[in-house]
Structure formats: C-alpha cells, structure tokens
C-alpha cells in the first residue's frame, strides 16, 4: 500500500446534477420511486474527512476476501473489513464474517450518523477501493440478518466514485447515479433494498483511493 501522509480530496463537487433532486440544507432527498434515499454531500468537513481517511486507511485490518465460484476462489475486487458488537456475525457474498471490536474512530463516525439515521447501528462493513478496477457488483443489502426494510447508512472518504441504482423489476425505470464524494453520507431505507440494486462500477478514469463504510443493524 502507498503511504498515507497526504490525502487531499475535492469535497465540493457533486460531479453531476441529478434529475428529481430537491436540495434542502445540504441534504438532498433523491426522488426514486419505490425507494427512500437521502444524500448529504458534506456531512464531514474537509479536515475531518482527511483525518478519518488517513486513520482508517492505516489502522483498519483490511483483508482480501475471496468467494468460491464452481470450486474456484475468486478474490473480491476490493479490500474489506467488518467491525461491530461482539456476537453480531454476518454472511456477505457467502463469506461469514465475525466482527472485530469497534475502534475509537469508527465509534466517532457512528455516533455522528446515528442521530441523522435514527438508528443505533451494531456493525459496519468497510470497503477499500484501491483503483478504478476495484468495484462492487450489482446487489442489494438484503441479507436475512438485516431484517425487513433495513436502514443502511453509507459514509465515503477519499476519491469520488459513481454509485448506481437499478430497479429489480421495473425495467422501464432509468438507472439513478450519485457521485459519492469525500465526507458524504447516503442513507437508504424503506423498500430500497427489496426493490432496487446498487453497484460501484469499475472505471477507466483515474480515481483516488476510496474508503466506504456501510453501517448496518443486525437484528
């Protein structure tokens, strides 16, 4: 891994304006049918975001996990880590994960977002995207451990990446895309995970390292 002495990321640009976006006090309610999605471009200041990025990059116990397809291990195209309350294990992409204990930084981020999300989360999945070849394929966060209508609170630090939604059944609906910027915060709730899938596609653009945290409540 490269050293993390200087991570300066551009915080202000959304990248692209969205159709159907109502802007209220730095909170964007994104009008997506059958979903409940709110986006906040700069929940964390530039300085806080730089510090969080550097700390997480250095101190999180990042792992290269693999999934097995037809008996062959296929490495996930990103590094991951799972932290949370003890006993809250979780199976993700057929990988059973036991949480590592919360760190002070994770607890700081968690406490800031919990009041906005209205949920006390008990776990967080972290992803580290090393370059444009790292990605997450179309999926929903709908594992049984998360219960019905889960609230997923997603925080991003580092390089901006394109986050996309597609409806699972209504093929006539357009895909929706949001550029997840340094210090941004996205909340997905209601039927979002049941009726929509999301992804971070690979890109040939030059992109900086990015860390994403998705806070979850395992019931």
Ligand X SMILES: O=C(O)CCC(=O)C(=O)O
Of the residues 78, 110, 141, 184, which one makes contact with Mn ion according to CB under 5 A = 141
φ, ψ of residue 7 in degrees (nearest 5): -120, 105
Rounded least distance, CB 156 to ligand X, Å: 6
Of 54 and 188, nearer to Mn ion (C-beta) is 188
Separation CA 129–CA 55 (nearest Å) = 16
H/E element holding 109? helix 104-117
Tokens of 23: 């802007």
Q: What single DSSP character describes residue 16? A: S
Interface residue with ligand X among 214, 215, 217, 218 (CB under 6 A) is 214
Task: Return the residues of window 129-168 that contact ligand X according to CB under 6 A.
Answer: 136, 141, 154, 163
Residue number, 48 or 77, with CB nearest to Mn ion: 77
> Is residue 81 involved in binding ligand X (CB under 6 A)?
no
Q: Quick one: 204 exposed, middle or buried, by C-beta within 10 A (0-12, 13-18, 19+)?
A: exposed
* DSSP H or E run through 57: helix 46-59
The answer to whether 205 touches 131, Cβ cutoff 8 Å, is no
Provide the mask over 58-97, with x wherever binding to Mn ion is found by CB under 5 A and - wherever it is not: ----------------------------------------
Among 200, 207, 217, 218, interactor with ligand X by CB under 6 A: 200
Chain residues that interact with Mn ion, rule: CB under 5 A: 141
Chain residues that interact with ligand X, rule: CB under 6 A: 125, 127, 136, 141, 154, 163, 180, 198, 200, 212, 214
């Amino acid at each position: 891994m490269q050293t993390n002495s200087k991570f300066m990321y551009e915080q202000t640009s959304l990248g692209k304006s969205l159709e159907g976006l109502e802007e209220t006090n730095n909170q964007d309610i994104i009008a997506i049918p059958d979903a409940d999605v709110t986006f906040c471009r700069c929940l964390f200041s530039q300085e806080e975001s730089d510090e969080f990025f550097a700390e997480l990059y250095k101190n999180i116990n990042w792992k290269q996990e693999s999934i097995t397809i037809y008996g062959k291990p296929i490495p996930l195209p990103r590094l991951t880590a799972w932290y949370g309350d003890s006993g809250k294990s979780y199976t993700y992409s057929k990988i059973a994960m036991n949480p590592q204990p919360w760190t002070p930084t994770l607890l700081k981020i968690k406490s800031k977002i919990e009041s906005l999300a209205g949920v006390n989360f008990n776990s967080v999945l972290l992803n580290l995207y090393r370059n444009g070849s790292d990605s997450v394929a179309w999926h929903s966060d709908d594992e049984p451990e998360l219960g019905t209508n889960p609230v997923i609170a997603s925080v991003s630090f580092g390089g901006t990446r394109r986050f996309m939604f597609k409806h699972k059944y209504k093929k006539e609906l357009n895909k929706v895309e949001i550029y997840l910027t340094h210090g941004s915060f996205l909340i997905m709730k209601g039927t979002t995970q049941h009726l929509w899938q999301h992804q971070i596609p690979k890109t040939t653009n030059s992109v900086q390292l990015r860390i994403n945290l998705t806070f979850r409540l395992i019931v």
